[in-house]
Amino acid sequence: MEHPSGRQFVLTHHAHEAIVTEVGGGLRSYRVGEVDVLDGFEVTAMCDGARGQALLPWPNRVADGRYSWQGTNHQLPLTEPDRHNAIHGLTRWANWELLELTASGVHLRHRLPTQPGWPFLLRCDLEYTLSGDGLSVRTTLTNVGSEPCPAAAGAHPYLSAGAGLLDTCTLQVPADTFLPTDERGIPVSRRQVEGTEHDFREARLIGGLQLDEAYGDLHRDSKGHAVVRLQRADGSTVELWAGVGYPYLEIFTGDTLTPERRRRGLAVEPMTAPPNALQTGQDLMVLDPQQSLTLQWGVRLG
């Protein structure tokens, strides 16, 4: 019997279990014992809300799906038609090739071909590894074409709110700035969090606050990690860390999801560039032929 998300790659390390999918190279679930670290989806379901997906070769939105590269204009498919945006890249629904599978790790690859709106050749690698420190994810993008190409990357896990809703959870986001958006989710400015309801530098209750913005100017620990902490009503804590290659974190409380999914998990999305970067060029990477970009993030039970 086949599943909507394709083959299921089950990783284990002692009490840790993560399930990675063939479709999108996505992360369907992660738990420690009976405790859900992520708010994932069932094996019989199609991925919803970009849950656990890798966002390549750009994260978040491109307004009108339009951008210019080296003097040539390009038009991407409008995958968020209600807002007239292209969203979350081109690899989310592709089948990824299995390169290596061990008890606690998996390496998947997708060769992104040229196509309308994207005339570049990229090789995309995802490596998931379980250990006593949690789940770590290594993403590598390699330009296998003959011309320089733009590149950005992101991921879309949802930290589980536990048995309740996000309203009863306490959140800490180590960021000094955030990017307010228009009604289409496109940033219109950059603001200091101080004095606003977006200030989560000190842990505080989420309550009924609705969030769907990128945060920047991140504080990092001695390992160079920016760590987001979500403490649930039962006192347990889940954490996402983003390595130095990710200067942005999108925080999304899931208010636009279907009613049964709404505010059950907090999307914490490490991103190399802010929304609309393909169009604005802000923090957009340029990969020369044969050049690679490698990034790391991870999740754990606190």
pLDDT score at 81: 97
pTM above 0.95, yes or no: yes
pLDDT score at 5: 98
pLDDT in tens, 149-207: 999 999 999 999 999 999 999 999 999 999 999 999 999 999 999 999 999 999 999 99
pLDDT score at 53: 98
pLDDT in tens, 48-68: 999 999 999 999 999 999 999
Nearest to 20 by CA among 75, 121, 79, 100: 100
pLDDT score at 1: 78
CATH of 8-301, one of 2.70.98.10, 3.40.50.620, 2.40.30.200, 2.40.110.10: 2.70.98.10
Q: Where are the domains of the chain?
A: 8-301
Low-confidence ranges of the chain (pLDDT < 50): none
